[in-house]
Amino acid sequence: MIVVTGGAGMIGSMIAWHLNTFSNRDDLIIVDRCKHQEQWQNLVKRRYANYLDKDELFSWLANHPKIDAIIHMGAISATTERDFNKLVQDNIRYSQQLWSWCAMNNVPFLYASSAATYGDGENGYQDNKLTDLRPLNSYGYSKYYFDQWALSQIQNKLPSPPKWQGFKFFNVYGPNEYHKERMASVAFHSFNQFKETGTVSLFKSHKEGIDHGMQLRDFVYVKDAASVVTHFFENDAENGIYNVGTGEARSFKDLAINVMINMKKTPHITYIDMPEDLQGKYQYFTEANIEKLRASGFRQPFHSLEDGVRDYVEHYLMQTDPYC
């Protein structure tokens, strides 16, 4: 059996899709706590053995020590979360407990980190340089703290899972993000804004030398993110933390224009002021260095922005049933 925490979330449900579709695995234990009233839709097309609330997992594990892996995607993922105590419990303590359980039971542990750990990128985006980073928000710090804790377990020769990898996901977009509301991708919001108003709103730039809409991100299609995780689950690779991105930064303007083009419409963009709670905590450039990922044996090409957006818009957003 494979435990997938956050399995009703965007990346978790797509990992389950990948395991169902390409690995013919349906012995999945989906763990989550669905807070959005429509989030159950992410599970409708999945094949899995059981669903557990996140607080039920450890009692279940006590009676099921023989599992193939824990794929830990569950977390508070909102970059605007202000309750740090909540982040400590959900993003740090829960992850530490799972790590310790995997170490004790000799079970592989694969978990979600985040590119938010890199902060404004002044120290680059290299996954072989994981210290002295300064995240811009408490969510990013919670992920950075756990990364550092995991590395300290290895350095101090403390109990650790036999196989473990962390994944610094860059800007993931694609199907099954409908429950994320404000935290859904710009691709998702662009589609809905344009459908409702005939224009797409993008943030103005508040940084000298960067034009409105030209803030750059490494946009990675969720199907590729799922492929990376399942690659590491199914193959031997060096333990450690890996960037998951395309290695190519693209602008929000490019993304929005591609969404509108694939809606078969003439693009129209309106620039708006950035909310105050994001100013000073906003990344203007991210681009994954994926040399380490490629060296691990992951050779699959990533969707280009054009191809990923086309698949998302045509096969999901414009369909009556948008779920994958």
Return the active site residues: 139, 180
Structure tokens at 5: 């925490």
SS (H, E, C) 45-108: CCCCCEEEEHHHHHHHHCCCCCCCEEEECCCCCCCCCCCHHHHHHHHHHHHHHHHHHHHHHCCC
Helix (H) or strand (E) holding 223: helix 222-234
Tell me, what amino acid is at 104? M
Rounded Cα gap, residues 2 and 9, in angstroms: 16
Between the two ends of the chain, the Cα-to-Cα distance in Å is: 22
Distance (Å, whole) CA 33 – CA 42: 12
d(CA 112, CA 58): 19
> Pairing between strand 240-244 and 69-72?
unpaired
Q: How many CB atoms lie within 10 A of CB 277?
A: 12
Tell me if 258 sits within 8 A of 304, measured CB to CB.
no
Nearest residue to 114 (alpha-carbon basis) of 81, 145, 88, 83: 145
